[in-house]
Amino acid sequence: MNPRNGLNNRKNEKKISKIISCIFGFYILLSFLAPLMMEEGSVPELSGRANAIDYATEQSWGNLENGEDSEIGHDQSKHGGVFAWSELNPIWAITYLLGDINCHQKHERSWEINDNQMPICTRDVGILFGIVFGCLFFRIRGSNRWTIRDTFLTIIPDNGLSIIYKKDARLFAMFLLITLSIIPIGIDGFAQMLTDYESTNLKRVITGFIAGLGLGWLICSMLAAKPEYFENSEKVVLPIGSLLKIK
């Protein structure tokens, strides 16, 4: 029996962590392989919009002349010509499609491999790596403790949770840890948006990685918190002999 939560094993937690880390890890791998294995110079300098499709075809928004001084986009003709991921083979097309939808793809904030811009910016590279490592940490330490907040906190050793359970500050502790993980990316990102400050790709990777750690940890906790695995709430083993009382 797992002494940390009272269940017989952690198979479900390990399975969830493995699936989530593999999904994000596979996309990271594709993001590096696609520009490496495509013909050199196939992907020009891009500059699109987050949460929008900009480079599906030669007539898409990103391939237009949006102005070199525009806050979003640029004159694509001055940055290596048009790009259409729909013309790539299916695997590389999906890789750049996902990047197109989720990332602004600004060339100055992205890496190039084989003279091809990657499908996601350095910030997103950091976030995805962080998610994978957050999932791996949960795989090692995480345990189902009925609620999301109690499951989330299981990465921390129980002797470090005593004061949190004595004061019943579990929800506060979870939100504090999540907030701490996004503060660096928030400061770095908003400073760029609101001032003349310009971050570096190294800072973007690091702050993205920290935020991704918290996100991966949270995703696994949300999926692993399974009340139905317990006979009742009082069967959940918690630090300092605490008991879950369901109203």
Give pLDDT, residue 243: 87
Q: Break the chain into its structural domains and give their ranges.
A: 23-120, 124-241
Give pLDDT, residue 2: 67
DSSP, collapsed to helix, strand or coil, labels residue 174 as: helix
Give pLDDT, residue 106: 95
Measured distance CA(18)–CA(132) in Å, rounded: 9
Cβ atoms within 10 Å, residue 153: 25
* β-sheet bridge partners, residue 230: none
Could you read off the pLDDT tens digit of each residue along the chain, which spans 247 residues?
667 899 989 999 999 999 999 999 999 999 999 999 999 999 999 999 999 999 999 999 999 999 998 889 999 999 999 999 999 999 999 999 999 999 999 999 999 999 999 999 999 999 999 999 999 999 999 999 999 999 999 999 999 999 999 999 999 999 999 999 999 999 998 898 888 888 999 999 999 999 999 999 999 999 999 999 999 998 999 999 898 876 6
**What's the CA dihedral at 177, 181, 186, 189 to 10 degrees?**
180
Residue whose pair of structure tokens reads 């500050």 in the numeric block: 169
66 neighbors 74 (Cβ within 8 angstroms): yes
pTM: 0.94
Give pLDDT, residue 196: 86
